[in-house]
Structure 1
Amino acid sequence: MQRDAHPVKIERHDVHAREHHTNTGCRPVQHYHETPHGLYVARPFVAHPRVRYWQAHLLPEHHLVVCRYDFHDRREHDYYIDVAQITREGDVWTVRDLYLDIVLHDGLMAEIIDTEELLAARDADYLTEREMHRAVTVAHDTLATLARARYSLRDWQDAHGLTLAWPARPVVTA
Protein backbone atom coordinates (compact mmCIF):
# COMPACT_ATOMS: atom_id res chain seq x y z
CA MET A 1 0.00 0.00 0.00
CA GLN A 2 1.55 3.28 -1.11
CA ARG A 3 1.24 6.16 1.33
CA ASP A 4 1.74 9.84 0.77
CA ALA A 5 4.78 11.23 2.49
CA HIS A 6 4.33 13.52 5.44
CA PRO A 7 6.97 15.48 7.35
CA VAL A 8 8.42 14.09 10.55
CA LYS A 9 6.06 14.63 13.49
CA ILE A 10 7.73 16.64 16.20
CA GLU A 11 6.23 16.86 19.68
CA ARG A 12 7.41 18.92 22.62
CA HIS A 13 6.83 18.27 26.28
CA ASP A 14 7.22 21.42 28.36
CA VAL A 15 7.46 19.94 31.84
CA HIS A 16 7.48 23.30 33.66
CA ALA A 17 4.37 24.56 31.82
CA ARG A 18 2.80 21.05 31.90
CA GLU A 19 2.05 21.21 28.17
CA HIS A 20 2.19 18.65 25.39
CA HIS A 21 2.67 20.36 22.01
CA THR A 22 1.73 18.21 19.00
CA ASN A 23 1.03 18.79 15.33
CA THR A 24 -2.65 19.18 16.27
CA GLY A 25 -2.22 21.71 19.09
CA CYS A 26 -1.20 22.15 22.71
CA ARG A 27 -2.78 20.10 25.48
CA PRO A 28 -2.47 20.21 29.27
CA VAL A 29 -0.64 17.30 30.90
CA GLN A 30 -1.84 15.77 34.17
CA HIS A 31 1.43 14.11 35.12
CA TYR A 32 5.08 14.49 34.22
CA HIS A 33 7.59 12.50 36.21
CA GLU A 34 11.28 12.26 35.43
CA THR A 35 12.68 8.74 35.82
CA PRO A 36 16.22 7.35 35.70
CA HIS A 37 15.50 6.29 32.11
CA GLY A 38 13.60 9.31 30.78
CA LEU A 39 10.23 10.96 31.26
CA TYR A 40 6.79 9.60 32.20
CA VAL A 41 3.79 11.47 30.73
CA ALA A 42 0.05 11.04 31.34
CA ARG A 43 -2.88 13.04 30.04
CA PRO A 44 -6.50 12.65 28.97
CA PHE A 45 -7.45 12.68 25.31
CA VAL A 46 -10.39 15.06 25.35
CA ALA A 47 -13.04 14.50 22.66
CA HIS A 48 -10.94 11.85 20.90
CA PRO A 49 -13.06 9.30 19.03
CA ARG A 50 -11.05 6.22 20.14
CA VAL A 51 -8.84 7.14 23.10
CA ARG A 52 -9.73 8.38 26.60
CA TYR A 53 -6.33 8.52 28.27
CA TRP A 54 -2.65 8.21 27.31
CA GLN A 55 0.42 7.27 29.31
CA ALA A 56 3.94 7.14 27.91
CA HIS A 57 7.55 6.65 28.86
CA LEU A 58 10.06 8.61 26.77
CA LEU A 59 13.26 6.53 26.68
CA PRO A 60 15.99 8.58 24.97
CA GLU A 61 18.78 5.98 25.23
CA HIS A 62 16.56 3.38 23.58
CA HIS A 63 15.10 5.77 20.96
CA LEU A 64 11.61 4.68 22.01
CA VAL A 65 8.37 6.08 23.36
CA VAL A 66 6.40 3.29 25.05
CA CYS A 67 2.70 4.20 25.14
CA ARG A 68 -0.34 2.76 26.85
CA TYR A 69 -3.83 3.90 25.84
CA ASP A 70 -7.20 3.66 27.56
CA PHE A 71 -9.73 3.16 24.76
CA HIS A 72 -13.42 4.07 24.76
CA ASP A 73 -14.29 0.66 23.32
CA ARG A 74 -12.46 -2.64 23.20
CA ARG A 75 -8.72 -2.63 23.74
CA GLU A 76 -6.87 -2.47 20.41
CA HIS A 77 -3.45 -3.37 21.81
CA ASP A 78 -1.60 -3.35 25.11
CA TYR A 79 1.30 -1.07 24.19
CA TYR A 80 2.22 1.09 21.23
CA ILE A 81 5.93 1.77 20.84
CA ASP A 82 7.14 4.68 18.72
CA VAL A 83 10.67 4.70 17.31
CA ALA A 84 11.90 8.25 17.91
CA GLN A 85 14.77 10.60 18.44
CA ILE A 86 14.33 12.14 21.91
CA THR A 87 16.27 15.15 23.11
CA ARG A 88 16.07 17.38 26.13
CA GLU A 89 16.89 21.02 26.64
CA GLY A 90 16.16 22.13 30.20
CA ASP A 91 12.50 21.42 30.98
CA VAL A 92 11.58 20.79 27.34
CA TRP A 93 11.73 17.28 25.90
CA THR A 94 11.45 16.98 22.12
CA VAL A 95 10.29 13.81 20.39
CA ARG A 96 11.02 13.44 16.69
CA ASP A 97 8.93 10.50 15.48
CA LEU A 98 10.87 8.30 13.04
CA TYR A 99 7.73 6.74 11.50
CA LEU A 100 8.16 3.10 12.53
CA ASP A 101 6.02 1.79 15.37
CA ILE A 102 5.62 -1.51 17.17
CA VAL A 103 2.21 -2.72 18.26
CA LEU A 104 2.51 -5.05 21.27
CA HIS A 105 -0.13 -7.51 22.43
CA ASP A 106 1.49 -8.30 25.77
CA GLY A 107 2.54 -11.94 26.07
CA LEU A 108 1.19 -12.79 22.60
CA MET A 109 2.84 -10.99 19.71
CA ALA A 110 4.29 -7.77 18.35
CA GLU A 111 4.61 -6.31 14.88
CA ILE A 112 6.39 -3.43 13.20
CA ILE A 113 4.02 -1.09 11.35
CA ASP A 114 4.23 2.02 9.14
CA THR A 115 7.15 0.87 7.01
CA GLU A 116 5.45 2.48 3.99
CA GLU A 117 5.41 5.83 5.81
CA LEU A 118 9.13 5.54 6.55
CA LEU A 119 10.00 4.74 2.93
CA ALA A 120 7.77 7.51 1.54
CA ALA A 121 9.31 10.01 3.98
CA ARG A 122 12.82 8.97 2.94
CA ASP A 123 11.92 9.30 -0.75
CA ALA A 124 10.62 12.82 0.00
CA ASP A 125 13.82 13.70 1.92
CA TYR A 126 11.94 14.24 5.19
CA LEU A 127 14.62 12.23 6.93
CA THR A 128 18.18 11.30 6.13
CA GLU A 129 19.48 7.91 5.05
CA ARG A 130 21.19 7.64 8.44
CA GLU A 131 17.93 8.40 10.31
CA MET A 132 16.11 5.80 8.24
CA HIS A 133 18.74 3.18 9.04
CA ARG A 134 18.58 4.06 12.74
CA ALA A 135 14.78 3.71 12.73
CA VAL A 136 14.95 0.31 11.03
CA THR A 137 17.71 -0.90 13.35
CA VAL A 138 15.91 0.27 16.51
CA ALA A 139 12.59 -1.24 15.39
CA HIS A 140 14.08 -4.61 14.49
CA ASP A 141 16.31 -4.79 17.58
CA THR A 142 13.32 -3.94 19.77
CA LEU A 143 11.13 -6.53 18.06
CA ALA A 144 13.86 -9.17 18.44
CA THR A 145 14.34 -8.44 22.14
CA LEU A 146 10.57 -8.45 22.67
CA ALA A 147 10.45 -11.89 21.03
CA ARG A 148 13.19 -13.15 23.38
CA ALA A 149 11.12 -11.75 26.27
CA ARG A 150 8.08 -13.75 25.03
CA TYR A 151 6.44 -10.47 23.99
CA SER A 152 6.13 -9.47 27.64
CA LEU A 153 6.81 -5.78 28.23
CA ARG A 154 7.71 -6.54 31.86
CA ASP A 155 10.29 -9.15 30.82
CA TRP A 156 11.60 -6.85 28.07
CA GLN A 157 12.08 -3.95 30.49
CA ASP A 158 13.71 -6.25 33.07
CA ALA A 159 16.18 -7.46 30.42
CA HIS A 160 17.09 -3.81 29.75
CA GLY A 161 17.31 -2.79 33.41
CA LEU A 162 14.31 -0.50 33.04
CA THR A 163 11.55 0.25 35.50
CA LEU A 164 8.45 1.51 33.70
CA ALA A 165 5.71 2.26 36.20
CA TRP A 166 2.15 2.57 34.93
CA PRO A 167 0.15 4.30 37.66
CA ALA A 168 -3.54 3.54 37.80
CA ARG A 169 -5.42 5.52 35.23
CA PRO A 170 -8.05 7.88 36.58
CA VAL A 171 -11.62 7.37 35.53
CA VAL A 172 -12.17 9.68 32.58
CA THR A 173 -15.70 10.39 31.44
CA ALA A 174 -15.02 12.81 28.57
Structure 2
Amino acid sequence: MHPPKIQTFDVPAAVNVDNKGFRRAVAEYRRTPFGLYMSREVVGRASAYWIESWLLPGLGLVVTDWRWNPGHERDQDFYLDVARIEPGETTWRTTDLYLDLVVRRGRSTEVLDVDEFVEAVAAGLIDTATAQWALHRCHETVAALAAHGHDLDAWLAEHGIALTWQGPDEAVRPAG
Protein backbone atom coordinates (compact mmCIF):
# COMPACT_ATOMS: atom_id res chain seq x y z
CA MET A 1 0.00 0.00 0.00
CA HIS A 2 1.40 3.37 -1.01
CA PRO A 3 1.29 6.42 1.27
CA PRO A 4 -0.98 9.32 0.26
CA LYS A 5 0.18 11.02 -2.92
CA ILE A 6 1.40 14.53 -2.24
CA GLN A 7 1.88 17.08 -5.01
CA THR A 8 3.13 20.63 -4.96
CA PHE A 9 2.16 23.38 -7.35
CA ASP A 10 4.86 26.07 -7.55
CA VAL A 11 3.08 28.95 -9.23
CA PRO A 12 5.98 31.41 -9.78
CA ALA A 13 8.25 28.65 -11.15
CA ALA A 14 5.40 27.24 -13.32
CA VAL A 15 6.15 23.74 -12.04
CA ASN A 16 4.06 20.85 -10.71
CA VAL A 17 6.02 18.34 -8.60
CA ASP A 18 4.34 14.94 -8.41
CA ASN A 19 4.43 12.44 -5.55
CA LYS A 20 7.59 10.84 -6.93
CA GLY A 21 9.45 14.13 -7.13
CA PHE A 22 9.17 14.58 -10.89
CA ARG A 23 9.02 18.23 -11.89
CA ARG A 24 6.59 18.96 -14.71
CA ALA A 25 6.49 22.27 -16.58
CA VAL A 26 3.10 23.94 -16.29
CA ALA A 27 1.71 25.78 -19.31
CA GLU A 28 -0.69 27.84 -17.21
CA TYR A 29 -1.56 28.53 -13.61
CA ARG A 30 -4.55 30.72 -12.82
CA ARG A 31 -5.63 31.81 -9.34
CA THR A 32 -9.22 32.64 -8.51
CA PRO A 33 -11.00 33.38 -5.22
CA PHE A 34 -12.18 29.74 -5.14
CA GLY A 35 -9.10 27.85 -6.30
CA LEU A 36 -6.11 27.28 -8.53
CA TYR A 37 -6.17 26.13 -12.16
CA MET A 38 -3.30 24.18 -13.69
CA SER A 39 -2.80 23.09 -17.30
CA ARG A 40 0.16 21.03 -18.48
CA GLU A 41 1.40 18.34 -20.83
CA VAL A 42 1.33 14.75 -19.59
CA VAL A 43 4.75 13.12 -19.84
CA GLY A 44 5.40 9.37 -19.75
CA ARG A 45 1.81 8.20 -19.91
CA ALA A 46 0.65 6.43 -23.05
CA SER A 47 -3.05 7.02 -22.42
CA ALA A 48 -3.10 10.82 -22.08
CA TYR A 49 -1.28 13.85 -23.46
CA TRP A 50 -2.73 16.77 -21.46
CA ILE A 51 -4.17 17.41 -18.00
CA GLU A 52 -6.12 20.36 -16.66
CA SER A 53 -6.98 20.51 -12.98
CA TRP A 54 -8.77 22.84 -10.62
CA LEU A 55 -7.74 22.70 -6.95
CA LEU A 56 -10.81 23.64 -4.91
CA PRO A 57 -9.78 23.87 -1.24
CA GLY A 58 -13.22 24.90 0.02
CA LEU A 59 -14.68 21.67 -1.34
CA GLY A 60 -11.70 19.38 -0.72
CA LEU A 61 -11.67 18.38 -4.37
CA VAL A 62 -9.28 18.39 -7.30
CA VAL A 63 -11.32 18.43 -10.52
CA THR A 64 -9.46 17.12 -13.56
CA ASP A 65 -10.22 17.04 -17.25
CA TRP A 66 -7.89 14.69 -19.16
CA ARG A 67 -7.08 14.80 -22.85
CA TRP A 68 -6.77 11.22 -24.05
CA ASN A 69 -4.61 9.88 -26.82
CA PRO A 70 -6.50 8.18 -29.65
CA GLY A 71 -7.63 4.71 -28.63
CA HIS A 72 -7.44 5.53 -24.90
CA GLU A 73 -10.59 7.61 -24.53
CA ARG A 74 -12.60 7.05 -21.35
CA ASP A 75 -16.28 7.37 -20.64
CA GLN A 76 -16.00 10.31 -18.27
CA ASP A 77 -16.38 14.06 -18.28
CA PHE A 78 -14.46 14.83 -15.10
CA TYR A 79 -12.28 12.99 -12.61
CA LEU A 80 -12.43 14.22 -9.02
CA ASP A 81 -9.92 13.45 -6.28
CA VAL A 82 -10.91 13.90 -2.65
CA ALA A 83 -7.92 15.76 -1.25
CA ARG A 84 -6.60 18.02 1.47
CA ILE A 85 -5.58 21.18 -0.34
CA GLU A 86 -3.23 23.68 1.25
CA PRO A 87 -3.18 27.00 -0.60
CA GLY A 88 -0.05 29.12 -0.25
CA GLU A 89 1.24 32.48 -1.38
CA THR A 90 3.48 30.89 -4.00
CA THR A 91 3.10 27.12 -3.62
CA TRP A 92 0.01 24.99 -3.16
CA ARG A 93 0.05 21.42 -1.87
CA THR A 94 -2.42 18.56 -2.21
CA THR A 95 -2.64 15.30 -0.31
CA ASP A 96 -4.71 12.75 -2.23
CA LEU A 97 -6.97 10.80 0.13
CA TYR A 98 -7.48 7.82 -2.20
CA LEU A 99 -11.20 8.31 -2.92
CA ASP A 100 -11.92 9.33 -6.51
CA LEU A 101 -15.10 10.09 -8.40
CA VAL A 102 -15.82 9.81 -12.11
CA VAL A 103 -18.53 12.16 -13.31
CA ARG A 104 -20.48 11.36 -16.46
CA ARG A 105 -22.52 14.50 -17.10
CA GLY A 106 -26.23 13.88 -16.96
CA ARG A 107 -25.80 10.15 -16.30
CA SER A 108 -23.85 9.08 -13.23
CA THR A 109 -21.14 9.61 -10.65
CA GLU A 110 -19.03 6.60 -9.70
CA VAL A 111 -16.80 6.29 -6.63
CA LEU A 112 -13.44 4.62 -7.27
CA ASP A 113 -10.58 3.28 -5.16
CA VAL A 114 -12.57 2.50 -2.02
CA ASP A 115 -10.35 -0.57 -1.64
CA GLU A 116 -7.21 1.62 -1.55
CA PHE A 117 -8.88 3.94 0.96
CA VAL A 118 -9.77 1.05 3.30
CA GLU A 119 -6.26 -0.40 3.02
CA ALA A 120 -4.69 2.99 3.74
CA VAL A 121 -6.83 3.47 6.85
CA ALA A 122 -6.07 -0.08 8.04
CA ALA A 123 -2.35 0.49 7.50
CA GLY A 124 -2.44 3.75 9.45
CA LEU A 125 -1.46 5.84 6.44
CA ILE A 126 -4.25 8.30 7.17
CA ASP A 127 -5.60 9.02 10.62
CA THR A 128 -9.20 8.43 11.70
CA ALA A 129 -10.20 12.11 11.61
CA THR A 130 -8.83 12.55 8.08
CA ALA A 131 -10.47 9.32 6.93
CA GLN A 132 -13.82 10.44 8.34
CA TRP A 133 -13.46 13.85 6.67
CA ALA A 134 -12.64 12.19 3.32
CA LEU A 135 -15.65 9.86 3.54
CA HIS A 136 -17.99 12.73 4.36
CA ARG A 137 -16.52 14.81 1.51
CA CYS A 138 -17.00 11.90 -0.91
CA HIS A 139 -20.59 11.17 0.16
CA GLU A 140 -21.58 14.84 0.17
CA THR A 141 -20.15 15.28 -3.32
CA VAL A 142 -21.93 12.22 -4.73
CA ALA A 143 -25.24 13.33 -3.18
CA ALA A 144 -24.86 16.89 -4.47
CA LEU A 145 -23.96 15.74 -7.96
CA ALA A 146 -26.91 13.33 -8.03
CA ALA A 147 -29.24 16.14 -6.89
CA HIS A 148 -27.97 18.24 -9.82
CA GLY A 149 -28.41 15.52 -12.44
CA HIS A 150 -24.69 14.65 -12.33
CA ASP A 151 -23.89 18.09 -13.71
CA LEU A 152 -20.70 19.31 -12.06
CA ASP A 153 -21.06 22.86 -13.38
CA ALA A 154 -24.62 23.19 -12.03
CA TRP A 155 -23.56 22.04 -8.57
CA LEU A 156 -20.47 24.26 -8.48
CA ALA A 157 -22.51 27.27 -9.58
CA GLU A 158 -24.37 27.06 -6.26
CA HIS A 159 -20.99 27.63 -4.59
CA GLY A 160 -20.18 30.60 -6.83
CA ILE A 161 -17.67 28.51 -8.77
CA ALA A 162 -17.41 28.60 -12.56
CA LEU A 163 -14.62 26.44 -13.93
CA THR A 164 -13.03 27.44 -17.22
CA TRP A 165 -10.79 25.21 -19.28
CA GLN A 166 -8.06 26.43 -21.62
CA GLY A 167 -6.93 23.14 -23.15
CA PRO A 168 -3.65 22.49 -24.94
CA ASP A 169 -2.33 24.33 -27.96
CA GLU A 170 -2.97 22.66 -31.29
CA ALA A 171 0.79 21.99 -31.50
CA VAL A 172 0.64 19.43 -28.68
CA ARG A 173 -2.46 17.58 -29.82
CA PRO A 174 -1.68 14.10 -31.13
CA ALA A 175 -2.11 13.45 -34.82
CA GLY A 176 -5.20 11.58 -35.82
| TM-score for the superposition, normalised by structure 2 | 0.92
Matched, 1:121 2:120: yes
Deviations 1:83-125 (A, max 9, x none): 0000023200000001100001111111111111111011111
CA distance in 1, matches of 2:91, 2:125: 23
Tell me by how many angstroms 1:47 deviates. Answer: 3.6
State which of 8, 11, 17 in structure 1 corresponds to 2:13: 17
Q: Which residues of 2 match residues 104-115 of structure 1 at below 5 A?
A: 104-115=103-114
| Cα offsets for 1:141-167 (capped at 9, x unmatched) | 001000011001221111222111112
> 1:132 aligns to what?
131
Partner of 2:58, secondary structure, is: helix
Tell me how far apart the structure 2 counterparts of residues 163 and 29 of structure 1 sit (CA, whole Å): 21
What aligned pairs does 1:1-174 form with structure 2 within 5 A after superposition? Answer: 5-24=1-20, 25-73=22-70, 74-76=72-74, 77-171=76-170, 172-173=172-173
- Structure 2 Cα separation of the partners of residues 20 and 90 of structure 1: 15
Alignment CA distance shift 1:166-1:173 (3 Å): closer
Alpha carbons of 1:89 and 1:158: their partners in 2 closer, same or farther (altered >3 Å)? closer
Contact (CA 8 Å) 2:42, 2:48: kept in 1 or not? yes
Q: Percent identity?
A: 33
How far apart, in 1, do the equivalents of 2:9 and 2:158 lie? 28
Structure 1 unpaired stretches of 5+: none
What is the count of residue pairs matched by the alignment?
170
4+ runs deviating over 3 angstroms: none
RMSD: 1.2
Q: Distance in 1 between matches of 2:138 and 2:58?
A: 14
